[in-house]
Chain A
């Protein structure tokens, strides 16, 4: 038994907590800052021995559905993703609250306020409220671990999925965690209640009514949750949600009341109790003003509530000990001025990366086509937007490159080029390509294949070695499908092919294929270490 203390990232504490809660499978697509949860489980020898499923999924929706299947069979499943992954799995997630679960399901959404590596700062708690399921929000690494057993028990007791929301600073911060005992996995026991799982309108109406009927129970459970705590004082009352609690405690003025919230729905009884002993309430929460809106609605227009909506805290960006101290009215000593000799150092494509050769070739050809537009996608190659390449005109969501190129081509843009990576293509680009093929859109797709999911650290990519077959099967014509090796030595061949395919008034796919420098170097290091 692994009792004792361990130094763990928030992500790792969640992973270990889930394993110790009798997890049978983790289903996930890599995404910063959630990736390390699944990687921890993949690398855990005990998990491997006991057959915990942990292979990467093609996208967040397939992950959520596989978890629902495992739950149907009676076992416990974990689903992990970054916040925008919630958009991809929303159909499955929202409807899993209607069917309910059998084995426990915990969905971990890792939000990224301040957009350290994301395109927005959407707050996943809204999804939990939308689906009407319990939401947990740990405040530190210990709670990340402790909450997993609690979350799975809660999920099975209520027969609902539970959403656990974390933010970057918890996911990627390490602290010492006290480890408890492991519980065995559930045994196989598929559900026999068909009416719950077949969401024809007749069944769905009954299931939805029962979900609505459960809401008072959810509220009551939040009110007495061991993770929600009211410390009474006087003057200004503070509500701190999840990690915000740590920032408040860093500079907590003596004697004020503090309500820590780590379980939702918003615990109305505790909020009212706090309001009763306070002159006003400051809501401190990372992300969007989710609790602040709820508190305002609960206490009415006359009760003073402060937070991100009132400007007491910044409306955008993550919390930190400084903006929270300011909101609390705690003054700090003198701060040094920023240095003078300082330049920004943005991330860039690695030396020798194949994407570099792709952009060099593309820029060379498109220099002759001033009307060309290049629709980018999500991955390392998004850095092609920055100097020296400045090669892409858009980056919106996973898979949008191909479909946006199609729409723009429909509108008359020519050349319309899409640049998409291998993992992003299987995640959400295949359906886009089918649309383009069916409509014979005049687009040139560059499927830049580095044989891995590179940006998140080199995870397996679902379509490796299958891309030609996939493109042909989707209807791309053989003579307009090319595989090239993106190297400076092949520049003439690559530019010739791009030029020819741009002139073709239908769908072309060019697959520059060369392994990511990072995964290649890692493999070489491993080989060297094995030899020693």
Chain B
């Protein structure tokens, strides 16, 4: 079994923390893993992405081929669309619905949502609003991971919760609790 995830967002939104948590869970579960990140200049308010590949067998390429991703997991709706050619025929898109507008020519929001909604199996939610509502404003990325967890078969929600504990453990119990709460809120939001 293999799962290829294209993680997307804008520099500073916390996609690498999502990758770290999934990576930790995958390692604990004894899965093979490759995760290609973007560092350097593109972190500064530009688009960022990470290729995350999980498998029960060996993994060759660090990069996901076109049409190969099982999931696009995005912290920003337009950034989810950027990687559409990578999405496989059965792949799904899980994304934040809240545009992050830091460029003058951001597309028309209604047209953007229409294009997103036309994708089969799309899941979108205002994760920042959810994070605020549960009083964990810095944990929107874990809300998104919770949404993704509903659709991951290669890792169980309990394995991901355990990984959240171990990744955020050194930042104190409050941070762990906020992130778990956010994860659960995302998980419960999808039936």
User: Which residues does A use to contact B, with CB under 8 Å?
Assistant: 5, 7, 9, 32-33, 35-36, 116-117, 169-170, 172-176, 243, 246-247, 249-251, 320-322, 325, 332-350, 380, 383, 387, 455-457, 529, 532
Distance between A68 CB and nearest chain B CB, rounded to angstroms:
28
- List residues of chain A with CB within 8 A of the CB of B115: 339-341
Q: Which DSSP category, helix, strand, loop or mixed, fits chain A's interface?
A: loop
Please state if B66 and A174 are interface contacts (CB–CB under 8 Å).
no
Please state if B61 and A246 are interface contacts (CB–CB under 8 Å).
yes
Since A169-B62, A173-B36, A347-B42 are in contact, a sample of 12 more A-B pairs with Cβ atoms closer than 8 Å, ordered by chain A residue number, is A172-B37, A173-B34, A174-B35, A176-B32, A246-B61, A325-B65, A334-B89, A342-B107, A343-B105, A343-B106, A347-B43, A348-B44
**Once the chains are docked, how many angstroms separate the CA of A424 from the CA of B23?**
36
Please state if A342 and B81 are interface contacts (CB–CB under 8 Å).
yes
Instruction: Known A321-B65, A455-B40; judge A174-B45 contact (CB<8 A).
Output: no
Instruction: Known A172-B37, A333-B89; judge A345-B63 contact (CB<8 A).
Output: no
**Once the chains are docked, how many angstroms separate the CA of A380 from the CA of B41?**
7
Q: Does B1 contact A (CB under 8 A)?
A: no
Contacts of B18-73 to chain A: CB distance below 8 A:
23-24, 27, 32-47, 59-68
Q: List 10 A-B contacts (CB under 8 A).
A: A7-B24, A36-B39, A116-B38, A116-B40, A117-B40, A251-B65, A339-B84, A340-B111, A347-B11, A347-B43
- Lowest 3 CB-CB distances: which A-B pairs, in order? A347-B46, A32-B40, A339-B81
Distance between B60 CB and nearest chain A CB, rounded to angstroms:
4
- List residues of chain B with CB within 8 A of the CB of A337: 84-85
Please state if A7 and B84 are interface contacts (CB–CB under 8 Å).
no
**Once the chains are docked, how many angstroms separate the CA of A532 from the CA of B67?**
47
**Once the chains are docked, how many angstroms separate the CA of A505 from the CA of B89?**
66
Task: Mark interface residues in B63-99 (1 if CB within 8 Å of A CB, else 0).
Answer: 1111110000000001101101101010000000000
Please state if B103 and A341 are interface contacts (CB–CB under 8 Å).
no
- List residues of chain A with CB within 8 A of the CB of B63: 169, 247, 320-321
Q: Does B108 contact A (CB under 8 A)?
A: yes
Please state if B111 and A5 are interface contacts (CB–CB under 8 Å).
no
Instruction: Known A32-B41, A348-B44; judge A176-B82 contact (CB<8 A).
Output: no
- List residues of chain A with CB within 8 A of the CB of B36: 169, 172-174
Distance between A521 CB and nearest chain B CB, rounded to angstroms:
10
**Once the chains are docked, how many angstroms separate the CA of A341 from the CA of B77?**
10
Please state if A339 and B82 are interface contacts (CB–CB under 8 Å).
yes
Task: Using CB atoms, name the residue of chain A closest to B88.
Answer: A333
Distance between A322 CB and nearest chain B CB, rounded to angstroms:
5
**Once the chains are docked, how many angstroms separate the CA of A340 from the CA of B82?**
9
Instruction: Known A345-B103, A347-B11; judge A335-B41 contact (CB<8 A).
Output: no
**Once the chains are docked, how many angstroms separate the CA of A170 from the CA of B106?**
33
- List residues of chain B with CB within 8 A of the CB of A350: 44-45
**Once the chains are docked, how many angstroms separate the CA of A321 from the CA of B4?**
14
- List residues of chain A with CB within 8 A of the CB of B44: 347-350, 380, 383
Please state if A321 and B61 are interface contacts (CB–CB under 8 Å).
yes
Q: Does B125 contact A (CB under 8 A)?
A: no
Task: Using CB atoms, name the residue of chain A closest to B106.
Answer: A343
Instruction: Known A336-B67, A455-B41; judge A174-B33 contact (CB<8 A).
Output: yes
Distance between A229 CB and nearest chain B CB, rounded to angstroms:
15
Please state if A529 and B33 are interface contacts (CB–CB under 8 Å).
no
Task: Using CB atoms, name the residue of chain A closest to B91.
Answer: A336
Please state if A457 and B102 are interface contacts (CB–CB under 8 Å).
no
- List residues of chain A with CB within 8 A of the CB of B38: 116, 172
**Once the chains are docked, how many angstroms separate the CA of A457 from the CA of B44?**
11
- List residues of chain B with CB within 8 A of the CB of A347: 11, 41-46
Distance between A440 CB and nearest chain B CB, rounded to angstroms:
36
- List residues of chain A with CB within 8 A of the CB of B65: 250-251, 320-322, 325, 332
